[in-house]
């Protein structure tokens, strides 16, 4: 099995006015641009990526980001709330799972002890409390 480096996802910079602008980052393991002009295209070097950001489809994507800044902020707030709720749910489920593991281990031990003392016959109704 061969290890591969995952390309980073391009994120435009923000200028002093709060607008998204293109800035060519240092490219180590390739760079994926989410603008959608070339699906799954990975740019291996700055020259190729610089050429890409000059394309009309990429420029249109930057313009769309700038037009929808307020919507992206609202979406980020909603995603933060969702993430916190999911963390709480996961924590609750993990606690339930731990409790059930304790019960299973306890009942398994009870069955083992009961089996040893009753010559192999077990009445499962004895454990239903």
pTM for this prediction: 0.62
Query: How far is the C-alpha of 64 from the C-alpha of 6, rounded, in Å?
Result: 27
Name the token pair of 50: 């610089």
- For the chain, percent helix, then strand, then coil, each to nearest 5? 55, 10, 35
Kind and range of the H or E element at 50? helix 46-53
- Between the alpha carbon of residue 92 and those of residues 89, 98, 99, the distances in Å are 5, 10, 11
**One pLDDT digit (tens) per residue for the chain, 129 residues:** 667 788 999 999 999 999 999 999 999 999 999 998 888 899 999 999 999 999 999 999 999 999 998 898 899 999 999 999 999 999 999 999 999 999 999 999 988 887 766 665 666 666 655
Q: What strands, in cross-sheet order, belong to the sheet with 31-32?
A: 8-9, 31-32, 42-43
């Amino acid at each position: 099995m061969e290890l591969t480096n995952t390309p980073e996802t391009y994120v435009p910079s923000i200028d002093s006015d709060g607008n998204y602008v293109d800035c060519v980052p240092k490219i180590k393991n390739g760079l994926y641009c989410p603008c959608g002009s070339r699906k799954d295209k990975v740019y291996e070097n700055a020259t190729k990526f610089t050429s890409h950001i000059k394309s009309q489809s990429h420029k249109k994507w930057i313009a769309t980001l700038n037009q929808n800044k307020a919507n992206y902020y609202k979406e980020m707030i909603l995603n933060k709330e969702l993430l916190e709720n999911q963390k709480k749910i996961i924590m609750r489920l993990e606690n339930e799972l731990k409790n059930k593991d304790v019960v299973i281990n306890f009942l398994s031990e009870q069955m083992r002890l009961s089996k040893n003392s009753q010559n192999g016959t077990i009445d499962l109704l004895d454990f239903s409390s």
